[in-house]
Chains A and B, each alone.
Chain A
């Protein structure tokens, strides 16, 4: 019994120390932001029911979306290659094939009407600076603006893959891939890095990446970090709330509010976990087996001790 009492004392002091240096210290060092469940409450709700057919005409026509964006599922390639696009706009434009499932509908509507506002980067484009966001505002095609926007959103939703077909990699590439490289998944901002037979071709590719990154750095003020290990360095909660609204965690940051849905955010995080915490499933499985083994070991050790000590007292 005395041993159990000593064990209790040791445990209490150990846990107190742990509590102070881990949960408590971290709560004081880092700002904690609660998730808003990707509700985007500051943006107005969609009031009109969109029509995908009319939306198609607008996206291809008056909306001018395809003047800057690729829509590969509709057979429309990008007007320029990624490097040239970045050199014109500062960053490549995402392919809109899956925009309807990746982004929140309310957010898409707000984005079309006023990109800087929806993306929460108005601090970079205030009247005093004289700069305007590179994605043109849609001022309307002559009809009811809200109706036209709702139509375009409906069209984008109609061409996108179903939610359950959207893979973590697709979600990441559409939502984050134009700004963030991910070396451990072989991803550069201009696409997957192919394997080259010739050194010369590889160097040519690398130079394209560097040109792209130079343009992006100029646009963002700094090069967005490679996200390979961010699941370990920032953790799920931080990344999720940061994506939801970067300004909450880093005030004045150049990273836009990307406007993804809660489901897409989960997939993006899963992709980050695939890169930086690849063996998590194996770890859990092996962990359970090792625990069983070690408990059995302790049990046998106890029986051995008992059999030896019964002669001792």
Chain B
């Protein structure tokens, strides 16, 4: 057993039992981050803060929300929006955060792709990140069911229908997922459970994994320079903070993170109070009605690109393309055959690949919302084919890349 001495202070008392000084050193003051990074490296912190906002606002909403097909709509739109003091604020914070979190996730992902931060030891960071993307997607979808409006109902109908796997007609799976032939009480109950319990737990676990995965490889830097962290850390600790290429997580990195978070929150609260409509689809303010199909059914904006990969094709091919789009990002570290973990602009053809992929996904996103008619469905089809083509081309492009 460890040796305990009479404590000299409260701090010492706790420290002997919990080792908080060590924790602080390992997690903060001697957790080394490269100095040569820009604000895009604060996006992880922005995501963590946004997740915290979602969690807190969600807890408040949960106190009044009623997961019942007869009362869900009113519990949100009447009780929370009108009766509960500041209920509207929590709802708008929750709704806007759910939308904005995806914007930041996409920025965070494309930052990773641009700087090649998914290879040479950082594969687990990438994979855990993709797991977060998938769990967040499930979280967003399940949350969208809860107000039980027209879009909840019909998006729920359309998305669960995908599990009949087209030509396989596996209607049994669809019914199993819904717990009924159509979205109804059993459906709402289980999505409620997923949204407020299982998925948040999974997300918190995966965030832990993601952070753990960062520990050994450290984060990348703006020039893809390979750093000798021990040497640089020694320099820093010896007092040569200016000469060292690393900084401490706290307070060096954190002070910059906090500033970026501050700027982000200005943007975020502006949206919450003055521009929330984009995050809360008007159609979902009509109560669910199984007899009235809305004129346009579309998912929230962050799912549009993958929806558009499904849509231009016949059912079976569309489903295969959709399945492809869902898993392909996981494989990025292995499809990129180049050893260079440097910014895309110094990687020849890959630079083109990066910007083409970004623009293509934006085009897919736009076409996913527009009605699939005339020129829009042609553009959608081309963009979907380009998406698949780009992924097929990736190994060849990167294989031929010269070592930098």
Contact = CB atoms under 8 A, between A and B. Distances in A.
B286 interface: yes
Interface string A7-44: 10010011011101110110011000000000000000
A7 B39 contact: yes
Nearest to A300: B262
A291 B263 contact: no
B39 A234 contact: no
Contacts, number: 132
Contacts of A276: 77, 285
A312 interface: yes
B249 to A, nearest CB: 12
B39 A279 contact: no
A298 B269 contact: no
Nearest to A26: B369
B266 to A, nearest CB: 5
Contacts of A128: none
A99 to B, nearest CB: 31
Contact of A28 (B78, B251, B261, B371): B371
B392 to A, nearest CB: 24
Given A6-B40, A278-B82, A24 B362 contact: no
A184 interface: yes
B370 A290 contact: no
B34 to A, nearest CB: 12
A257 to B, nearest CB: 22
A277 to B, nearest CB: 8
B270 interface: yes
Given A232-B282, A301-B262, A311-B241, A291 B269 contact: yes
A contact residues, range: 35 or more
A312 B247 contact: yes
B282 A234 contact: yes
A29 B107 contact: no
B383 to A, nearest CB: 12
A74 interface: no
Nearest to A29: B296
Contact of A312 (B35, B88, B261, B376): B35
Interface string A220-249: 000001001110111100000000000000
Interface string A161-186: 00000000000000000000001100
Given A25-B366, A184-B82, A291-B273, A309 B256 contact: yes
B215 to A, nearest CB: 22
Contacts of B255: 301, 304-305, 308-309
Nearest to A291: B269
5 contacts: A17-B362, A287-B272, A287-B274, A291-B270, A297-B265
